[in-house]
Structure 1
C-alpha cells in the first residue's frame, strides 16, 4: 500500500461543510483512529432486537491489515474492535438478519480536541480538532491467528510493546470470553482544524474592542500522568518502555497543540 493511498470520496463520506478541512488519505485517517483514546461505534440495534433507537458504544480498537501466511496479496486495512464475547455488538455479526449482506453495517468515529479557539465574537469560536469517520461491514474474527494478531495490535496501540511485557499467551478461557470484530472499511474520511482564531475583518478593524476582548487559542492535549502501581505489583520501578512512551506522547501532544494554536487562520 502506498503512503498516499486515498479513500474514495463517496456521497456518504464526502465532507460538505468546510471542505478545505477534509482529508481522505489512509495515513491521516488511520493515525487519528489509532491515537484516539476511545472509538465510538454506532449501529442499528434493530438488527438484534426491536429497540428503535440507534446505539453508540465507546470501545477500544485500532486499524490493521492482517494477511495470512499463505495469502498471495496483502489484505486491505480494517478497524479491529474487541469486547466481551457475550456483549450485544460482539454477538451481532454472528446473527445477521440479512444473510445477503457482507456483515453488519457500523460507523466508527474517532476525535481529538487540540484546543479551544476563542475569537472576538462568539460566532467565530471553535475548536482545533482531528476527527475521522469510517463506515464498514462488521464481521466476527474466528480465525485464531487473526484474533491473536488483533488482540496484540489493540494492546500495543495503547502502550507499544505492552503485549510482550505481560503474562502471555492468553488462556483458553480468556480467548473464549473475548470477542474480536473486524470492520471492513467501505468509506472513510477525516476532518481537521489546526490554526488560530479566524476573525472577521470588521472586528479586526475595531481597535477599541480588540483592547477589551482577548482572542486566541487555549491548547488542549492528552497528558499521561505518573504511573501508579497496583497493590499486587512487585516490580520496584516503572519499566523504561512505559516511561519512554509516556514522555514521548506527552511531549508530542503538547508540541502539536501549541504549534497549531499559533498557525495563521486561512483566508475566508
Structure 2
C-alpha cells in the first residue's frame, strides 16, 4: 500500500515567499528537522503592551500521546519542557481558548558555501518553522509520557537508565507544554556554489578565488565520566559512530549536489 506524503496546507503564516524553490511543506521533513535539532527557539508575545516578542531556547519533540504509534509523517503535537513558573508557562496557564500562540523554529547548518563574490556566499542548511497553540499538560500520564519522550531525544533509552520515577519535587517543578500545530514549513538548501554567469566566465577571477563547500555536521565525542561516576560506560551512552557517519554523509552529499534552481520545486525527504 502506497503511503501518501502529507503536507501542511499553505496559508498566510507558513507560505515561503523568498526562495520558494527551497520550500518544503512535507510533515516528514519538517518534523524530522524539529526532532533532530537539540535546541528549539520558541517565540511568543508576552503582552499586548510589550513592543518586543520573546524568544526562548527550549528542548522539545514531536509526538502524539493519543496516537503514540504515529510516525514523523503524521500530524503530531510538539511537546516542550520547561520550569513551572517560567513566563511562557504562566502565560499559557492564563490563556484561554486554543492556547498561547507560539512559533517554534529549528535550524541546522550543513555546509559553508563559498563563492566568487561576498554577496553570493551561502549556507547549506535545513530549517523548520511551526505555528501553533501552547497549552499546559495537566494529565499526569501524558506529562510522564512527554518527559520520557523528551529525555530520550537527548539520548535514546536514557529515561529507563536513570532513577525512576521522578520524585514529587521534580514533578512539581517541571511543566510540559503541548503545542497543537496549526501550520508549518521548511526551507532546505543543498548544493554547490552558484555564482553569476558573468563571474563564472571571468578567467582572472576563477584563477584567484577558491570556491566550494566546507561540510558542517554534528559529531558526538567520547563520553567523559563525571566526578562521582562509578559505572562503566553503558551501551546506550557509548559513542554512536553511526550518528557521526550519518551526519557527515548528509553534509558531504549535500555539498556535491546541484545548486538549487528557481522554478524547480524542492523535493521532500521520503518522496519518490
CA separation in 2, counterparts of 1:179 and 1:209?
Answer: 57
Q: 1:45 corresponds to which residue?
A: 46
Q: 2:86 corresponds to which residue?
A: 87
Change (3 A) 1:68 1:144: farther
CA separation in 2, counterparts of 1:89 and 1:157?
Answer: 22
Q: 2:223 corresponds to which residue?
A: 227
Partner residue of 2:238 out of 233, 243, 256: 243
Q: How far is the alpha carbon of 1:76 from its aligned partner?
A: 4.2
Q: 1:105 corresponds to which residue?
A: 101
Change (3 A) 1:122 1:247: same
Q: Do the aligned residues in 1 keep the contact of 2:27 with 2:75 (CA within 8 Å)? A: no
- The C-alpha deviation readout for 1:168-190, integer Å capped at 9, x for no partner, is 11112111110000010001001
Q: 1:10 corresponds to which residue?
A: 11
Q: Which has the higher contact order (CA 8 A, sep 6+)?
A: 2
Q: 1:19 corresponds to which residue?
A: 20
CA separation in 1, counterparts of 2:242 and 2:162?
Answer: 21
Q: Describe the SS at the equivalent of 1:5.
A: coil
Q: How far is the alpha carbon of 1:3 from its aligned partner?
A: 5.7
Q: 1:72 corresponds to which residue?
A: none
Q: 1:263 corresponds to which residue?
A: 257
Q: Do the aligned residues in 2 keep the contact of 1:45 with 1:52 (CA within 8 Å)? A: no
Task: Give the TM-score taking structure 1 as reference length.
Answer: 0.91
The answer on 1:31 being equivalent to 2:32 is yes
Change (3 A) 1:87 1:3: farther
CA separation in 1, counterparts of 2:261 and 2:6?
Answer: 29
Q: Describe the SS at the equivalent of 1:17.
A: coil
CA separation in 2, counterparts of 1:106 and 1:12?
Answer: 12
CA separation in 1, counterparts of 2:200 and 2:51?
Answer: 49
CA separation in 1, counterparts of 2:14 and 2:129?
Answer: 8
CA separation in 2, counterparts of 1:129 and 1:27?
Answer: 16
Q: How far is the alpha carbon of 1:68 from its aligned partner?
A: 7.1
CA separation in 2, counterparts of 1:35 and 1:3?
Answer: 23
CA separation in 2, counterparts of 1:3 and 1:113?
Answer: 28
Superposed CA RMSD = 1.7
- The C-alpha deviation readout for 1:117-155, integer Å capped at 9, x for no partner, is 111111111101000000100000000111111111111
Q: Do the aligned residues in 2 keep the contact of 1:129 with 1:193 (CA within 8 Å)? A: yes
Q: Describe the SS at the equivalent of 1:92.
A: helix
Q: How far is the alpha carbon of 1:208 from its aligned partner?
A: 2.0
Change (3 A) 1:249 1:103: same
> Which ranges in structure 2 are unaligned for 5 or more consecutive residues?
69-73, 263-272
> Which ranges in structure 1 are unaligned for 5 or more consecutive residues?
70-74
